[in-house]
Chains A and B, each alone.
Chain A
Amino acid sequence: MTTQPVWIAIAAYNEGSVIAGVIEGVRAAGYAVVAVDDGSADDTADAAERAGAAVVRHPINLGQGAALQTGIEFALAAGAEIVVTFDADGQHRVSDVAVLTAALKEHNADFALGSRFLGGTLNQPLSRRLVLRLATLFTRLSVGMNVTDTHNGLRAMTRRGAQRIKLRQNRMAHASEILHQVAQSGLPFVEVPVTIEYSAYSMAKGQKLTDALTILLDLFARRLHR
């Protein structure tokens, strides 16, 4: 395994139909990719491997948070200087990765968080917008960080920053948990405008209002023990 400075960590669960395209796009831009197959039932792992990613396979489905943590740890073990989390469904632009890594250097930050509300969105439905605004408000109040988009899957972190991330929320509540740990680490972070492209595919796989309730319960339970 050659040492690459920038690693892209992609968590994928049953994304066999789109994962190859996403990975090829990222590989073409010259980044190393680790795809964490979160116990998919389809050919996600094979497709990712063929597309040129290092593949880690969870033996069982653990959730996106767990898969991201695995990806981050794999990237660190592989010697990554910068780890970027990237969604598997093709909603992020590969060109935004360079924007994030540049922002890390420029602002001397350890975390660069993508924000669709600073940047642009394509085809974002109103309902999705409202749910995200509410989620952002909730996280701002509970974590105490002033960020505009708390649930963006595109983030870059330095090695030092990535070592401080220890996700224990296996499911979707990890988005708030990452921010919480960023705040706890006391390391500098910067928000960077990125573009999210909403497609029928990403909408079908995305979070709905009912999932927000599950996330709230997860976060509440987290506060209760330890």
Chain B
Amino acid sequence: MIAQLSLTALLFAVILYALSQYRRAPAVGLMSMMVALVGLYFVWLPSHATRLAAFAGIGRGVDLVLYVWVVISMLMLLNLHLRLRMQMEQITSLARALAMANARETSSRSAP
């Protein structure tokens, strides 16, 4: 019961987060919302998770949740990686613009 209550509180926090993110990134908001709702469902009806797991060919409901979670975190990691690359490209443009501006200033100062 303790675990169920604390998990419920956590998942509600996720739902609030999803609502706040929905306007900025609808895809992320919708996904987190769905994950949280499915999580809530399985927290209160673990037997359904087990039945679904058995249907998918996995022994226990816990294992099913675990596997799905691993996949989700991998996708999140990939997304984060791509976002970092994008940020690096922006930093590159910024640094290049700065370097070029400095170079122009130096050459115009040294010109007779």
Residues of A that sit less than 8 Å from B by CB: 1, 36, 54-60, 62, 66, 69-70, 73-74, 77, 168, 170, 221, 224-225
Contact = CB atoms under 8 A, between A and B. Distances in A.
Given A59-B98, A77-B100, A170-B88, 14 more contacts: A1-B111, A36-B99, A57-B99, A57-B102, A62-B92, A66-B92, A66-B95, A70-B96, A70-B100, A73-B96, A168-B89, A224-B82, A225-B82, A225-B86
Interface in B46-61: none
Interface in B5-59: none
Interface of B: 78, 81-82, 85-86, 88-89, 91-92, 95-96, 98-100, 102-103, 106-107, 111
Contact of A225 (B85, B92, B98, B99): B85
> Is chain B's binding surface mostly helix, strand, loop or mixed?
helix
A54 B107 contact: yes
Contacts of A168: 89
A70 B89 contact: no
Contact of A70 (B81, B88, B99): B99
Given A221-B82, A225-B85, A54 B103 contact: yes
A225 B99 CA distance: 27
B85 A221 contact: yes
Nearest to B82: A225
A56 B78 CA distance: 34
B96 to A, nearest CB: 5
Contacts of A221: 81-82, 85
Contact of B99 (A58, A77, A170, A224): A58
B86 A1 contact: no
Contacts of B89: 168
A55 B99 CA distance: 9
A70 B97 CA distance: 9
